[in-house]
Amino acid sequence: MKEKLTEEEKMERDLFGKAEESEKKVKEYKTEKKAVKRLEEEPPSATRDAELATRERILKEREREVKEGVASLHIGAKEVADRTGSTLTEVLKKLDTSYNEEENYRVLKLVKFAQSVDVCFVYDATGSMHAHFRTLNANIRKFVEGIRTQNPNMVLRLSMVVYRDPEDGAGHIQFHEFNSSISSFERYVEDIKVGGGSDECEDVIGALKAAEELERKSANKLLFLCGDAPCHGTRYYQNAFDMHPQGLGIQSLPILHNMIDKRIQVVFWKVNESTNKMIQVFNEEASRHPGQGLLPVEKDRDEYISTYALSKTNILESMTKSLYESISSSLSHSMSRSSLKTKSISESVKLARSYKSTLPTHAEESSSKSRRSASGGGGKSTASPGSVDGTLVSSGGERI
The model's pLDDT over 194-244, given as tens digits with 9 standing for 90+, comes to 887 778 899 999 999 999 999 999 888 889 999 999 999 999 999 899 999
Question: Average of pLDDT values for 2-26?
Answer: 85
Which among 131, 144, 148, 141 is positioned nearest to 310, based on CA atoms? 131
**How long is the chain?**
400
Q: What is the pLDDT of residue 3?
A: 61
Q: Residue 294's pLDDT is what?
A: 59
User: Which residue did the predictor score with more confidence, 34 or 10?
Assistant: 34
Q: What is the pLDDT of residue 369?
A: 47
DSSP 3-state of 268: strand
CA distances from 13 to 5, 95, 353 (A): 10, 10, 18
Residue 192 has pLDDT above 70, yes or no: yes
Predicted TM-score (pTM) of the model is 0.69
Phi-psi region of 2 (alpha: psi -120 to 50; beta: other; left: phi over 0): beta
Alpha helices in the chain, H assignment, sequence order: 7-40, 46-84, 88-114, 130-150, 182-191, 204-212, 252-261, 276-286, 315-337, 346-353, 362-374
**Residue 147 in contact with residue 156, Cβ under 8 Å?**
yes
Higher pLDDT, 97 or 373: 97
- Mean pLDDT in residue range 144-160: 85
Confidence of residue 279 (pLDDT cuts 50, 70, 90): very high
Most confident of 137-141, 185-189, 253-257: 253-257
Q: Provide mean pLDDT across the span 361-376.
A: 47
Q: Looking at the DSSP assignment, which residues form a beta bridge with residue 308? A: 269
- pLDDT (average), residues 37-52: 94
Question: What does the DSSP 8-state code read for residue 234?
Answer: G
More confident residue, 386 or 246: 246
Structure confidence at residue 297 (pLDDT): 44
The pLDDT, as a whole number, for residue 20 is 93
CA distances from 26 to 29, 61, 271 (A): 5, 12, 58
Q: Which residue has the higher pLDDT, 395 or 45?
A: 45
- 3-state class (DSSP) for residue 135: helix
pLDDT attached to residue 337? 64
Instruction: Report residue 280 CA to chain centroid gap.
Output: 28
pLDDT value at position 6? 82
Distance between CA atoms of 192 and 333, rounded to whole angstroms?
A: 34
Mean pLDDT of 76-82: 92
Q: Are strands 155-163 and 173-179 parallel, antiparallel or unpaired?
A: antiparallel
Report which residue type is found at 7: E
Interatomic CA distance for residues 284 and 302, integer angstroms = 7
Report the pLDDT averaged over residues 22-45.
Answer: 94
Rounded distance between C-alpha atoms, residue 372 and residue 16, angstroms: 39
Q: Is pLDDT at 338 greater than 90 in this prediction?
A: no
**Which comes out higher in pLDDT, residue 254 or 109?**
254
Cα–Cα distance measured from residue 272 to residue 275, given in angstroms and rounded to the nearest whole number: 7
Per-residue pLDDT tens digits for 119-149? 999 999 988 888 888 887 777 788 888 877 8
Instruction: Name the residue with higher pLDDT: 362 or 318.
Output: 318
Q: Which of 71-75, 140-144, 313-317 has the highest mean pLDDT?
A: 71-75
User: In this structure, which topology does domain 115-337 adopt according to CATH?
Assistant: Rossmann fold (3.40.50)
Rounded Cα–Cα distance for residues 27 and 342 (Å): 15
Q: What percent of the chain has pLDDT over 70?
A: 84
What pLDDT is recorded for position 379? 43
Report residue 2's pLDDT band, with 50, 70 and 90 as the boundaries: low
What is the overall mean pLDDT for the chain? 83
Of residues 359 and 319, more confidence is placed in: 319
The more confident residue out of 12 and 215 is 215
Confidence grade of residue 309 (pLDDT, cut at 50, 70, 90): confident
pLDDT at 170: 76
Q: Where are the domains of the chain?
A: 7-109+344-393, 115-337
Mean pLDDT of 105-128: 86
